[in-house]
Amino acid sequence: MMGKCQRLMVIINITLTISDIKRIIYMNMISIKYRINEKSLMDNYDDILSKPIIYGVFIIESDFEFYLRDKCMIDDGLFELFKFNDDLFDWFFNLNKINIELMRDDNKYIMLGYDLDSAYIKNYILFTKNNQYLKISIIERDNQDGTLKLLSKKLPDNYRIINEMAPININIWLEEIYKKTKQFLDDITSIYKDFDNYIYIKKLNDFLKVYENDVKA
């Protein structure tokens, strides 16, 4: 039979294990990095009703080797050489739309396609919310019908996980997107102040206000 001291040690070990898991969840950080191709801003000046197209590089990375795009793509040499064409406005706009959905429900699946150069989207970022925790995965799905669906709230029948991060507190993600979206808007309006009049810029600012009212208040 297990003695009292042995039982106490087991309880202590279990407690420490749970504590370690919680510490990892809260310490695992995620960050958004981007770089704007300023020449692409010139193409948006005449149409305030359309969604701006602002090219550059968009990077998501976290601790423990999870990333979408390599941060070296921001470096001067690679950036100038390859003229990356991530639509930065689309990234911030769609991620803020997703965040509003994540704030509404405790349990949620949302996929965001990012393989937009293909005839159909097969690469997605999968957001899985479980109460106050969020897990982000990079997945590849089978899409035999050739449809192009950027956002989806339904898990596909068949998919493969390419990369997956440890769960984090949802507020870490919400705050990072909020801060980087404000920074992005400041960056583009500092280059061209009339962006403030664009309909989609105002919509994106409205998304930020939802976060300010629901989370930061």
Residue 62 lies in a domain: yes
Q: What is the pLDDT of residues 70-114, one digit of tens each?
A: 566 565 566 665 666 788 999 999 999 999 999 988 888 998 887
Q: Mapped to the 3 state alphabet, what secondary structure does 142-176 carry?
A: CCCCCCCCCEECCCCCCEEEEEECCCEEHHHHHHH
Q: Within a domain: residue 6?
A: no
pLDDT less than 50: residues of the chain: 1-2, 4-26, 146, 148
Cα end-to-end span (Å), the chain: 55
Tell me the helices (H) and strands (E) count for the chain, helix number first: 5, 10
In a domain, 139, yes or no: yes
Partners of 51 in the beta sheet?
Answer: none
In a domain, 176, yes or no: yes
Structural domain contains residue 118: yes
111 is in which domain, residue-wise? Answer: 27-216
Give this prediction's pTM.
0.80
In a domain, 155, yes or no: yes
Number of compact structural domains in the chain? 1
Query: Has residue 21 been placed in a domain?
Result: no
Q: Which tokens in the block code for residue 141? A: 């799905």
For tokens 């429900």, the residue is: 105
